[in-house]
Chains A and B, each alone.
Chain A
Amino acid sequence: MRTVDPTATETRTPRAPSETVSRLSLVPKGPVLVLAVIVVAGALVSPYFATWSNVLTMLTSASVIGIISVGMTFVIISGGIDLSVGALVALTAVMATTAPVQEGGWVAMIAVALAFGLGAGLVNGLVITHGRIVPFIATLAMLVSARGLAEFISGGTPQTSLDETFNALGSAKLVGIPLPVWVFAAVVAVGWLLLNRTTFGRHTLALGGNLEAARLAGIRIRRHLVILYMLSGLTAAIASVLLTARLTSGSNAVGNLYELDAIAAVIIGGTRLAGGRGTIAGSVFGVLIFTVITNIFVLKNLETDVQNIAKGAIIVAAVLLQRRRAADT
């Protein structure tokens, strides 16, 4: 009887442990590379691009989609999708700016926004787990109804936010940096910890990697999924508060197609659409890539149609680049 298992030593492409660590925990190199190229291009085409004030402008405009992308990253890693986030931005914006809520001041406005984000996420999660409806359809239905509800409540007209403190959230600065950027940074930091350092994050990866294995390992699948969609609703609501404060009004028309921007950012960031693998940092880079491109086009006075054509091309290029890298390893 052999005591040495011969197949154990002849595994494919032995990889040093340190490399494995870097692949598991650090930022995926693809998006970093793409962003670096775009930043260099931006600095070359416009002298204003590399100024501090332009950087702050870019970060501020990245913060709304960026915050949504953090929640979306969790959902996609778990093997799901959330198409309702754009509509939830509109719904929570409208809910927070209704007259009775505004009477309660900025605390009530934020609380109502967050509550509706969490509530809509709860409904998404319950429809998916207990109604056994796939996430794509469940959240598509939520997209349609949430926007409908937002229009019903607001009567189709923007509701001006009169609370000075609330509106300041969109423009105030802390140590020279706009508040939305701080919130974005905080959401990213919490998201990173949650994904990489908590059982919740590990279980999310396990769900997306192998749902049956996760179930048989004793993970409470349904409860976990419900919490995931609540998390996504919560990040949509946080983004909505910042957007509403900046616009000083809530409207059923805001947040249009934000779900697609967020999904694109997550995918460009290297998260696998089928789940089981992904990083928060990658999604942040995905958002920044889009923001910087938009910024360059604005600086060069190019129309949005050209921007959108370029964005589409970037999505394909970034994913192709990743696939090449995945095949290499």
Chain B
Amino acid sequence: MGPSSDPPDPDKPPLLAVRGLVKHFTGARALDGVDFEVAAGEVHCLLGQNGAGKSTLIKVLAGAHEPDAGALLLDGRPVRVPSPHAALELGIVTIYQELDVVPGLRVYENVFLGHEHARAGWTRRRRMRAATADALRRLGHEEIRPDTELAHLSPASRQVVSLARALSRDARLIIMDEPSAALAGHEVDNLFRVIDDLRSAGLAVVYITHRLAEVRQIGDRVTVLKDGRTVASGLEARTTPDDELVRLMTGRKVGDAFPPRGVIPDDAPEVLRVEGLTRAGEFTDVSFSVRAGEIVGLAGLVGSGRSEILGAVYGATRPDAGEVTLDGRPLGLGDPAVAVRSGLGLAPEERKSQALLLDEAVYRNLSLASLRRYVSAGLIDRDREMADARAAIGSLDVRPAEPLREIRQLSGGNQQKVVVGRWLIRGCRVLLLDEPTRGVDVGARAELYALIRRLAGTGVGILLVSSEIPEVLGLADRVLVVRQGRVIADRAAESADEEQILSLLMKGSAL
């Protein structure tokens, strides 16, 4: 048991008690002893950095994962949540960050999706409309009409529809995963008013967030997770000092082996310069530069604009204003083919959907960006292609070292090595890495870190995006802090510390 204060009414058992929850995935312990309690009529905030185990915890509570050890107690009685359906039956409703509503359906159809009122197979639309209107009234959003198609609603209104759905399910406990991430300031105020009403009605809310200001405004108590464990539970949300919370969230013990930094000569040329880059709604007036052999890290929360900046530099999206120069020459924007020919490379955030040809062999994934160089007399010289692939597999230590193996059979870490290897073979001046260690286990991480550092050692400039602050600080030479689409700080990574960066990221958020 972690340290915990009593729930508001000590005579009654808490609505939900989580005890010693453990969940393993291959190669990693996602949850390693989580304890906390939520009382009825309470908004309980969960704080923790990326990788602390918040998402896994939500999935266990929502019935998407079964825990390996530990217990869940509802009203003091142990329960099992083997499936999402079971969670709903128990009154536990989860509202995910990516709202799981159907844009093509009407509001009332979304609210009753999966539990439609029906008689003899015929839906009872009038009844569902009335019940939806009723739920929306309870939420103080009468202006949303049950017959409106969801596609016409703002993100904030969609969230209200999700909440209406939770009410229609007779929810007792509502879990909200970073609900404010996609909302504008006044929409967040609305959301908080709704949450306040839910609390008054005796429901319990588990509220996951990165933003300390929100904890102050809406939370009753706070539980902090780090590396899959509860490090503090049931803290008073309004009075616990910022410093205290940040200190609890940081100071990771895991020995991520970061390679030693190289020495960048003073006369190392600037390879990438970004000036005044702006894309409406994503980022504003972003300027920075990367020198040959330098690793520059962009640190920011989800939704801060960090990945969007990378995408615009690469040409995956077209910025509204600004310039990018590569080796002193202006880069044509908005076309990845131009970026690649000019000497840029990208290892995108979503490996499987944005980088890999999953049905193809490893060697074909490696050579994808460099096929033209193997062409003689119009045909691809497969011997040369295979020789390059074998060399890359060797130097990257891809396992198993079989160029003909289908890439989908490799582990996440080895797949990522192949994605980086694609640019190693092509040879680029600047490599953009978006979350290079996502879904990669600890052992392969260290190898990737070494590989990235080695690449920089050959004079390649590297721009790195990561939601894990220790990774940015350990790997990069320089850190740019991105908040709400702006670069607000530029620090040498060696002298910056995690707490300082984290408070820069979290302060003055959307409120």
Contacts and interface: CB of A to CB of B under 8 A. Distances in A.
Interface of A: 1-9, 11-12, 14-15, 17, 20-21, 24, 193, 197-199, 202-203, 205-206, 209-210, 212-220, 276-277
B340 A218 contact: yes
Contacts of B443: 1-6
A210 B361 contact: no
Contact of A218 (B337, B353, B375, B411): B337
Contacts of A17: 402, 404-405
B356 A1 contact: no
B314 A210 contact: no
B400 to A, nearest CB: 6
A219 B348 CA distance: 15
A2 B422 CA distance: 25
B346 interface: yes
A242 to B, nearest CB: 26
Interface centre among A3, A205, A213 (most CB of B within 10 A): A213
B380 A199 contact: yes
Query: 7 closest Cβ contacts across the A-B interface?
Result: A218-B340, A7-B411, A8-B399, A2-B443, A209-B357, A11-B409, A199-B371
A203 B399 contact: no
A7 B446 CA distance: 15
A120 B246 CA distance: 64
Given A3-B447, A8-B414, A205-B357, 10 more contacts: A8-B410, A9-B399, A15-B406, A198-B379, A199-B375, A203-B371, A209-B358, A210-B358, A217-B336, A218-B369
A5 B354 contact: no
Contact of B368 (A9, A15, A197, A217): A217
B359 interface: yes
A215 B357 CA distance: 12
B341 A218 contact: yes
Interface in B422-447: 422, 441-444, 446-447
Contacts of A198: 375, 378-380
B238 to A, nearest CB: 42
Contacts of A276: 357, 359
A5 B413 contact: yes
Contacts of B346: 216
B333 interface: no
B442 A1 contact: yes
A7 B27 contact: yes
Contact of B348 (A5, A9, A216): A216
B360 interface: yes
Interface in B313-356: 314, 316, 336-337, 339-341, 346, 348, 353-356
A148 B230 CA distance: 72
A209 B357 CA distance: 6
A197 B441 contact: no
Nearest to B342: A218
6 contacts: A5-B413, A5-B447, A6-B27, A205-B357, A216-B336, A217-B368
A24 B407 CA distance: 13
Given A7-B411, A17-B404, A197-B379, A216 B359 contact: no
- Say which size band chain B's interface belongs to: 35 or more
Given A24-B361, A205-B360, A276-B359, A5 B411 contact: yes
Contacts of B354: 210, 212-213, 216
Interface centre among A6, A202, A205 (most CB of B within 10 A): A202
Contacts of A21: 404
B24 interface: no
B495 interface: no
A219 B357 contact: no
A218 B400 contact: no
B26 interface: yes
Contact of B406 (A9, A20, A202, A220): A20
Nearest to B426: A218
Contacts of B410: 8, 11
B317 to A, nearest CB: 11
Nearest to B422: A217
A202 B359 CA distance: 13
B257 A1 contact: yes
A79 B52 CA distance: 40
Contact of B356 (A5, A7, A20, A210): A210
A212 B369 CA distance: 13
Interface in B96-118: none
B315 to A, nearest CB: 9
B255 A9 contact: no
B355 A216 contact: yes
A7 B404 CA distance: 18
Contact of A213 (B27, B255, B356): B356
Interface string B17-32: 0000000001100000
Given A2-B442, A217-B340, A277-B359, A8 B379 contact: no
B81 to A, nearest CB: 27
Contacts of A205: 357, 360, 364
Nearest to B413: A5
B368 A206 contact: yes
A11 B360 contact: no
B372 interface: yes
Given A1-B443, A215-B336, A12 B409 contact: yes
A230 B33 CA distance: 61
Interface string B397-421: 0011010111001111110000000
Nearest to A196: B380
B294 to A, nearest CB: 23
Contacts of A217: 336, 340, 355, 368-369, 422
Nearest to A15: B405
A209 B353 CA distance: 10
Nearest to B406: A20
Contacts of B337: 218-220
A218 B339 contact: yes
Contacts of A215: 316, 336
A193 B380 CA distance: 10
Interface centre among B368, B369, B380 (most CB of A within 10 A): B368
Contacts of B402: 17
Contacts of B255: 1
B353 to A, nearest CB: 6
A20 B369 contact: no
Contacts of B314: 216
B353 A5 contact: no
A20 B405 contact: yes
